[in-house]
Amino acid sequence: MRKPLVVALCALALAAAGATPAVAAAPTPTGADTATGTGAGSTAVPDVVNGVVDNVVSTVTDTASETVAGLTAPRAGAVNLAGTVSLSNCSGSVVRMPDSAADDPALVLTNGHCLESGFPGAGEVLVDRASGRSFGLLNASGAKVATLRADRLVYATMTDTDAAVYRLGTTYAQIKSAYGIDALTLADTRPAAGTAVSVPSGYWKRIYNCSVDGFAYRLKEAGWTFKDSVRYTPACNTIGGTSGSPVVDDATGKVVAVNNTGNTDGGRCTMNNPCEVDENGAVTVRRGINYAQQTYPFTACFGLDGKLDLYASGCTLPKP
């Protein structure tokens, strides 16, 4: 799982003073962005420090590489930060289904491991829980324009996928009218290998650009197993705090996945070191490669008025 930011200012202050902040040896999955995780290695503070250090290093290296790349290939300009949100420990986005109505309560998508209560256990599915969680709504340039508040946790799990959906006390039309921001639409089809994608992080106010490299039949991380996970090309070197970011198809502008984890140091199937398992049980470890969970299955599970129906025709999401 990817990591959050709680002591960034402290880390940056140490850096400014010439001190080197200590970096914990074991962070939590893009899976470990929870402020109060329940799994091994799920404490927030070490993840924050790792996220800050990773961000500083990757910003410097990315700036150089992007300057060179820009000489031969234009950067995609369609995807920006409008509609993304910042959580206390993760990223997310305001999303709509293909047939959502303007007067439906708006939904926010993030990772299941980003829950305030910690990681859901393997096999655990949470449905229709009270929530007062707040989200910072960003505009295209990454400026916070509003604080949105949830009234329900509609769905959350880390079984087969890693996702959480919150319902806001605000409609899509109200958000559009007040802030001029549209929700991101979930694609209702599976992305293809080679698809150019962007990963806008509301937490870091940064956009990663890469392509879908392929898919992991099963992705195992500690006690959790994810199915048909999106594997990025190396350019999406997502860091702590990017968990829950939407993965946007550059060509359509639609959300095809939700960013959630990566193999940090080459470990085999452990926390922050997911491994790929194929249909025959063969295990592959890809150090430094990051992953996301597909979101098209959600479109078959939300019906009239944006209500979740896990027993709707075509809905394959895990059930309680």
Burial class (CB in 10 A: 0-12, 13-18, 19+), 285: middle
Q: What is the CATH number of domain 84-183?
A: 2.40.10
Task: Name which of 175, 155, 176 is nearest 302 in CA terms.
Answer: 155
At residue 200, the pLDDT reads 99
Task: Name which of 201, 211, 207, 273 is nearest 240 in CA terms.
Answer: 201
What are the distances in angstroms from CA 211 to CA 190, 224, 237, 256, 301?
A: 14, 25, 12, 12, 27
311, 71 Cβ separation under 8 angstroms:
no
DSSP 82: T
At residue 10, the pLDDT reads 38
- Judged by DSSP in three states, 239 sits in coil
Instruction: Give average pLDDT by consecutive 10-residue segment, the chain, 320 residues.
Output: 48 36 32 36 36 46 37 54 98 98 98 97 98 98 99 99 99 99 98 99 98 99 99 98 99 98 98 98 99 99 95 98
Residue holding tokens 């303007």?
Answer: 102
At residue 18, the pLDDT reads 38
> What tokens appear for 54 in the block?
């990773």
CB-CB neighbours of 4 under 10 Å: 31
Give the residue extent of every domain in the chain: 8-69, 84-183, 196-296
Residue 276: strand pairing partners: 219, 284
At residue 78, the pLDDT reads 79
At residue 1, the pLDDT reads 82
pTM: 0.81
Residue 291: strand pairing partners: 231, 261
CATH top-level class for 196-296? Answer: mainly beta
DSSP codes, 4-64: --SSHHHHHHHHHTT------S---TTT---TB--STT-BHHHHHHHHHHHHHHHHHHHHH
Specify the pairing of strand 91-96 against strand 184-185. parallel
